[in-house]
Amino acid sequence: MSRRMLSVLTTWAAIAPAVVLSATTYDYIVVGSGPGGGPLASNLARAGFSTLLIEAGGDETQNPTYSDLANFLEACNDEASRWDFWVRHSDNATQDLAFHHTTWDTGGGTFYVGNDPPAGAKLLGIQYPRAGTLGGCAMHNAGVASLAQDEDWNAVVNLTGDTSWEAPNVRKYLKAIEKNEYMPAGNSAHGYNGWLSTFVSDVSWAQAANSTGVRILEKLSTLLNQTSKDPNVLFGGDILGNPPNKDQISSIYNMAYHCDSKGKRSTPADFILSTLSDPAKYPLTLKMRTLVTKVLFNNSTTQPRAIGVEIMEGASLYRADPKHTPGAKGPVSQVFASKEVIISGGTFNSPQILKLSGVGPKAELEALGIKVVKDLPGVGEKLGDNYEASIIGLTKEPIPAGLTTAIWRTPNAATKNRNIYSWCGPFSFEGFWPGFPTDYGANQWECAMVHIGPKSQAGSVRLRTADPQDTPDINFRFFKNHGDTDLAELVEATNILRSSWLAAGDPALPIQELHPCPGEIGKAKCTDAMQAEYFRVQAYSHHATSTCAIGADSDPMAVLDSKFRVRGVQGLRVVDASAWPQVPGAFPVVPTMMLSQKASEDIIAEAKAQQGSHDHAHT
């Protein structure tokens, strides 16, 4: 064989889609199987590229706690997948200690939740559960399917000039992943052949004319300036639809979920497993119960190049896992990627992995003895989240109703866009703590809300230690920037929702509000300022984003370019919720799956272009 031919074959082996160079070398390594990494790894394999998908947790897809969406409260509390991050909401320790669900370790696997801990209790903080399992947090959430606002996609265009992110272009990503099961076939806004089932809630309760629940529904529709009182009209709008100016429409909707018509949860785990079992034998390898400890680099190139990852194998190795045994370790080894390493560990773990690998703020890394590969000060910064809050009370008699869901704009909103996603019904949800929620009985009535477009992204994810099994220090710094504006919007929303309750009439009234304005609604003396202060301390969240944010070339805090490439190094990308430059809409899970589809398109097109260029050069 000629030297030239040998060179051609060697180069081809490095770029060919399905060639595995050795037992531990793949074209791509994807770290994390959640809404970002799971679909991406499956798409790469289906495009013919050998792909290793690494997941720290196990597979709970056959466990009814996870597979049946109705069990989501149990799923989020379940130790089989739960990772507990204990976070702060502010730099004010006294304020955080006033959070009603501050959690303390009382030993032996028990907790105290509240503001008057017993002697000897160890402060943990505010619980922020994540899911360490195949499919990631899509496996333990409430399954709400909601879309980003157009401005969330256009933000990338404005920062980078990459017009492929323009909002009119991205509907195709929803259509590519969606298997819609609630709209008639052929609706141009939806997809029907994807891997993600979508369905809607049962609103038959709204047909009960003049019931207390329907009276509240009708009053809320009036407050949102909807003229019709017909429930078929009120719930007839498609919450995932694509009408003109959709982000400015205040309306009641039928809540959509990423589940099928039988209530079975639909997640990236399903796509992963179907890819693995497909008769086409796509080159996807799944490695579970494996903790990635760092990215490996070749530092001899002009820019450091990611060439693989170091892994530690074993179950419950990460200390966020309540099943973790102190001191437990696993065998350490390395696996390699001939093309790229893609980090999809989520908003907390992706910046942690980058920093452990030497990519992050120089001073932070050097203080922990980590060799700096690339000084990238934005890694772990700009942490943002939707503020979540609720108004809850006890009715005189139970209200027969399901969920009244609405996306709407408060009159004092900072922009013309909708800023509140709310849902009201006979339930209780007040945030996260071990064993949540509190069950107040049959008479409980709540309106929960998610604040869309939070204006403060001042949080951070920073290393406590250089130990990859340790959890990072997480501080959201709620309301630090423009906090009074966001709080005023939450208060305005609460006042409007409370007004709808007064329409319930007999036998539901009077309603004793528990918070934010304790007492009989309509009579309790509670100012807007009092409510704002309540939310300042008691707001919670579950939609963290933006710690490895896409940004402009000129921005020293930008971590990624518009193609998800980590700046200043080669062969390394981040594809998950941490990539969003701002919090996308009310529930980031489906937007992040769409983002994953976009990343798949970008990465596969780039790889095939490189392959085609190489083929042409050697023809």
In the numeric block, the tokens 């933006």 are attached to 546
Query: Residue type for 522, please?
Result: G
332 known member of a binding site: no
What span, in angstroms and rounded, lies between the C-alpha atoms of 569 and 550?
Answer: 15
Cβ 316 vs Cβ 328: under 8 Å: yes
Task: List, in sequence order, every residue forming a beta bridge with 449; answer none if it has no partner.
Answer: 389, 422
Instruction: Tell me how long the chain is.
Output: 619
Cβ 373 vs Cβ 362: under 8 Å: no
What span, in angstroms and rounded, lies between the C-alpha atoms of 439 and 554?
Answer: 51
Torsion over CA of 202, 208, 209 and 214, rounded to 10 degrees? -50
Alpha carbons within 13 A on the beta-carbon side of 182: 27
Q: Residue 265 has what DSSP assignment?
A: B
Q: Residue 121 has what DSSP assignment?
A: P
292 known member of a binding site: yes
What span, in angstroms and rounded, lies between the C-alpha atoms of 145 and 198?
Answer: 8
Q: Residue 109 has what DSSP assignment?
A: T
The neighbour count for residue 162, using CB atoms within 10 Å, is 15
What span, in angstroms and rounded, lies between the C-alpha atoms of 612 and 454?
Answer: 44
Question: 358 is written with which tokens?
Answer: 């030497």
Task: List, in sequence order, every residue forming a beta bridge with 110; answer none if it has no partner.
Answer: 107
Q: Of 603, 43, 576, 594, which Cα lies nearest the Cα of 271? A: 43
425 known member of a binding site: no
Q: Which residues contact 511 (CB under 8 A, 6 or more apart)?
A: 393, 394, 395, 396, 445, 501, 504, 520, 521
110-113: strand order across its sheet: 82-87, 122-131, 103-107, 110-113
Helix 589-617 to helix 3-15 angle (10° resolution) is: 170
435 known member of a binding site: no
Counts of helices then strands in the chain (DSSP H, E): 15, 25
What span, in angstroms and rounded, lies between the C-alpha atoms of 403 and 447?
Answer: 9
The beta-strand segments (E) located in 164-221 are: 178-180, 196-200
The continuous run of DSSP H or E covering 128 comes out as strand 122-131
Cβ 582 vs Cβ 384: under 8 Å: yes
> Could you tell me how far CA 6 lies from the centroid of its own chain?
47
Query: Residue type for 30, please?
Result: V
87 known member of a binding site: no
Using alpha carbons only, how large is the chain's radius of gyration in Å? 25
Query: Residue type for 380, please?
Result: G
CA–CA distance from 559 to each of 90, 362, 593 (Å)? 24, 14, 20
Q: Residue 530 has what DSSP assignment?
A: H
* Strand pairing class (284-287; 110-113): unpaired
Residue numbers in the known binding site for FAD are 141-144, 292
Residue numbers in the known binding site are 141-144, 292
